[in-house]
Amino acid sequence: MALDPVAYEPYNDPDDFIREVTDRIWVQRDVSYIVDNYEPDSIVHGGLGTVVGRDGVIEGSLMRIAGTPQHVGQAEDVVWEARGDDAFLSSHLVFSADEILVDGVVRRIRKRTIANCLYRRGRMVEEWVVRDELADCLQRGIDPAEAARELRFRGYQGSMTEQPPKDVLAVGDSGPRPDDFRPECEMVLEFLEEVWNSRRYQKVTDYMHRDLFLHTVGDRTVVRPDGYQRDLLALVAPFPDARFEVRDVQTNHAERYAGLRIAVTWVMRGTYRGTPAFGALTGGEVELLGVSQFLVQGGRIVKEVRVFDEIALRAQIDAGRTEAFTDTNIY
């Protein structure tokens, strides 16, 4: 299906659209452009929950821009896919390497953000955005636990409260999608079910290349299958019943980005009753929004970029500390 230019005008294509719009707001600091770019009733889902309405987006953006006045975000990848003939869903991977002054010392802050934006006729209607706030805290010298105590998890609304899509390759949270690159998409979804959900970690090598790269939160890079296994174990150990729900999928093949990328929006749901990685156990339920961008070459995954907000996760856990929790039968 050909995408009508009304979806991305006045730019050349959705890739160009996303790069230029993001630069205008976040680099040129034209915060008022959000009024022209976002629908008044736009919905944004982030690590701390859902914000409904353009005014909340403007306020949040203003505070973030003011908090990092030297910030420049560089587009590392744009995975976009049509949603009908007048809309597209983009998965915009942004890399930033900022310098800030903290107590008279220059600190370099490297972090990644992924913003999945649903644009219809050139206007943003719904967004799923995740930021590596852990990297920001660690590089600024801020205790992540202290940072989390300053935050409040507001909860999710709208599509995020509905059951996961029955056939995410046909219809995701963003709506019906084209049936592109089905074998590769099915491979990635099978990988998530077998390795992430069924805990068959030994099967990493069935889906991923030996020389794989994982770029993940805390500005960490993990290599090789054994490193990937350890990282995934560390993620789920605090939540032994964790399950990952796939909410959306989009694909894009472009030589400038090394070929086929498959972006997956997921939500991890579990209870904090396992390894006490974030302080005393609470037994409370958590829901963690994340996005992974997979690079697929020759039918195998060679790279994953995985972003979620660990500080927001800590804030959820802190909110459940009002009730004592003791349970020794967690295995």
* Residue bearing tokens 């789920």: 236
Q: State the average pLDDT for the chain.
A: 92
pTM, two decimal places: 0.93
User: How far is 59 from 73, CA to CA, in rounded Å?
Assistant: 19
pLDDT at 328 over 60: no
The predicted structure's pLDDT at residue 33: 86
Confidence of residue 69 (pLDDT cuts 50, 70, 90): low
Please answer whether residues 267 and 289 qualify as being in contact, where contact means their C-beta atoms are separated by less than 8 angstroms.
yes
Q: Is the pLDDT of residue 174 over 70?
A: yes
Helix 310-319 crosses helix 133-140 at what angle (to 10 degrees)? 90
For 19, 33, 80, 260, 261, the CA distances from 77, given in Å and listed in that order, are 10, 23, 10, 11, 9
Given a cut of 60, is residue 325 above it in pLDDT?
A: no
CA gap 221, 214 in Å, rounded: 6
Q: 96-130 burial string, b = 16+ CB within 10 Å, else e?
A: bebebeeeeeeeebebbbbbbbbbbebebbbbbbb
The Cα 289–Cα 303 span in angstroms is 20
Task: Go through 177-203 and write b for each residue having 16 or more CB atoms within 10 A of its CB, e for each that does not.
Answer: beebbeebbebbbebbebbbeeeebeb
Determine the distance from the C-alpha atom of residue 125 to the mean position of all C-alpha atoms in its chain, rounded to a whole number.
18
The percent of residues above 90 in pLDDT, for the chain, comes to: 80
How sure is the predictor about 100, in pLDDT bands with cuts at 50, 70 and 90?
Answer: confident
Residue in 232, 225, 186 with CA at minimum distance from that of residue 208: 225
Q: What is the pLDDT of residue 302?
A: 98
pLDDT at 1: 57
- Please state which of the ranges 143-147, 154-158, 323-327 shows the lowest mean pLDDT: 323-327
Band of residue 165 on the pLDDT scale cut at 50, 70, 90:
very high
Confidence of residue 88 (pLDDT cuts 50, 70, 90): very high
The mean per-residue pLDDT over the stretch 83-94 comes to 97
> Which residue has tokens 């994982």?
214
Based on its alpha-carbon atoms, the radius of gyration of the chain, rounded to whole angstroms, reads 19
User: Which pair of structure tokens corresponds to residue 17?
Assistant: 């659209």
pLDDT for 35 beyond 80 = yes
Number of other CB atoms surrounding residue 235 within 10 Å: 21
- The closest of 22, 37, 143 to 71, measured between CA atoms, is 22
Query: CA angle at residue 113 from 110 to 115, to 5 degrees?
Result: 165
pLDDT in tens, 251-286: 999 999 999 999 999 999 999 999 999 999 999 999
The number of angstroms, rounded, from the C-alpha of 128 to the middle of its chain's C-alpha atoms is 7
